[in-house]
Amino acid sequence: METDKIARLQKYIDECNKIVFFGGAGVSTESGIPDFRSVDGLYHQKWAYPPETILSSTFFYNNTAEFYRFYREKLIIKGVKPNIAHIKLAELEQAGKLSAVVTQNIDGLHQLAGSKKVYELHGSTLRNYCTKCHEFYDIDFIAESKDLPLCSKCNGLVKPDVVLYEESLDQNCIEGSINAISNADMLIIGGTSLTVYPAAGLINYFKGKYLVLINRDPTHTDSKADLVIHDKIGEVFSQIVIK
């Protein structure tokens, strides 16, 4: 990895104190969570329906058992831990340098690493609610349920607090993300190819000093960035010193 790029990233981080991190699947792959949309990811594996169909609102209500068969196998991953990127971001927040993490991931790993201000654009597998009485259920309840996870209070269907296809993002979450990004002095975009909308459109609200992109592969935003690092996000963050 180019050491001069790491030195520049370090300089930018040292200078800024309202950093926002905008992250995608690449942040979690280093914790062993497969990327939905990568070539080797679960979107190219064999199921009776394409994952985009299974993970839609219509499918959830019409083929609930099949939805959960897929969901339990592919979206609930046991024993995953935050990696060095999650940990460094939590430390940056603790040091008063980072104001928010905006993530497209649904695994809750930023919070597990200690991050407090996290906007989860696509929800979280850790939160599940009864569709009738809104009783909360944790991920183990879903993982251990057979066929349909039904509410123990009212027998209603329990649904993950995950934004499915055909569903819109949570308005409070969008507003919070826009507010954080538009007030940021530095925006670090990491582990995302910036192809999933509307999430990817949020970065257009940034008007601060430094736009940094860290991604294994090039993205269409590379040309707009002050610094582009094509590497694994964990490798990059492991070299950052928090002062």
Residues that bind Zn ion (CB under 5 A): 130, 132-133, 135, 151, 153-154, 156
CA distance between the termini of the chain: 22
Active site residue 86: no
In contact, 157 and 116? CB cutoff 8 Å: no
**Residue nearer to Zn ion on the CB measure, 45 or 131:** 131
**Residue nearer to Zn ion on the CB measure, 135 or 167:** 135
Instruction: Classify residue 23 by its DSSP letter.
Output: E
Lookup: tokens for 112: 């597990």
**Residue nearer to Zn ion on the CB measure, 119 or 137:** 137
What is the smallest separation between the CB atom of 133 and Zn ion, expressed in angstroms?
A: 3
What is the smallest separation between the CB atom of 11 and Zn ion, expressed in angstroms?
A: 53
What is the smallest separation between the CB atom of 135 and Zn ion, expressed in angstroms?
A: 5
Task: Give the type of residue at 11.
Answer: K
- Pairing type for strands 19-23 and 186-190 reads parallel
**Residue nearer to Zn ion on the CB measure, 82 or 149:** 149
Q: Which residues are bridge partners to 20 per DSSP?
A: 100, 187
In contact, 125 and 77? CB cutoff 8 Å: no
Instruction: Classify residue 56 by its DSSP letter.
Output: B
User: Catalytic: which of 44, 86, 110, 122?
Assistant: 122
What is the smallest separation between the CB atom of 191 and Zn ion, expressed in angstroms?
A: 36
- Pairing type for strands 158-162 and 186-190 reads unpaired
Give the whole-angstrom CA distance, residue 198 versus residue 170: 11
What is the smallest separation between the CB atom of 243 and Zn ion, expressed in angstroms?
A: 49
What is the smallest separation between the CB atom of 76 and Zn ion, expressed in angstroms?
A: 21
**Residue nearer to Zn ion on the CB measure, 1 or 133:** 133
Instruction: Classify residue 18 by its DSSP letter.
Output: S
Which alpha helices (H) appear in the chain, and where do they start and end?
A: 3-15, 25-29, 51-54, 57-62, 64-74, 84-94, 109-113, 139-144, 171-182, 233-237
214 Rama class: left (phi>0) / alpha (psi -120 to 50) / beta: beta
**Residue nearer to Zn ion on the CB measure, 91 or 135:** 135
Catalytic residues: 122
